Copies of this chain bind each other. A is one copy, B any other.
């Protein structure tokens, strides 16, 4: 994430994007953002009507950056691509810049911010669904799995991994949670193929 920018508008958006992630929306004041962006009050209110409008721009940037990261690299098989996404490094203690918004009372009261968060989750779920459907089509995973449900299970593992990492003050629980899921997928693929062969 960029922490500086050329124009004062960019600097404000970048500073707010970082503060939303680190401190949350409720706990961040316009004064905090102006100090972090090194931008004065006149310039702030020239570009934005207030904290809400700046937060919309900053959250939008955080979401774009996250979804860009999720854009797939091509792997040897659909299941390998799915696992590569699952096992991508995730800073457990820092938390998810989107998921943490749902724990912020002021975000829950703000329909525009909340619907951006919901849309971002829908977008990541759609990308999981595509990968799961591809793995089912390639006969790496059994057809009995519901890809919509499983997409939410995978999203939940990541979001819950952040909660556990903060509870333990350690990266380990996040790593364990995603590796536990990857092992389940591997076992499923392996025994699915063995079972398929045995009845073929």
Q: Is A60 an interface residue (CB 8 A)?
A: no
* Interface residues of chain A: helix, strand, loop or mixed (majority): helix
Q: How far is the CA of A194 from the CA of B188 in the complex (A)?
A: 12
Contact residues in B for A118 (Cβ distance below 8 Å): 167-169
Taking the complex as formed, is A29 at the interface, i.e. its CB lies under 8 A from any CB of chain B? Answer: no
Q: Is the CB of A102 within 8 A of B180?
A: no
Q: A43: which B residues are within 8 A, CB to CB?
A: none
Contacts of A198 in B (CB 8 A): 194-195, 197-198
A21 interface residue (CB < 8 Å to B): no
Q: Is the pair A176, B188 in contact by a Cβ cutoff of 8 Å? A: no
- A88 to chain B: which residues have CB within 8 Å? none
Contact of A184 among B145, B169, B194 (CB under 8 A): B145
Bound CA span A40–B164, Å: 37
Any chain B CB within 8 A of the CB of A144?
yes
- Give 10 A-B contacts (CB < 8 Å), ordered by A residue: A99-B167, A100-B103, A118-B169, A145-B184, A150-B184, A151-B180, A152-B173, A156-B160, A156-B177, A160-B163
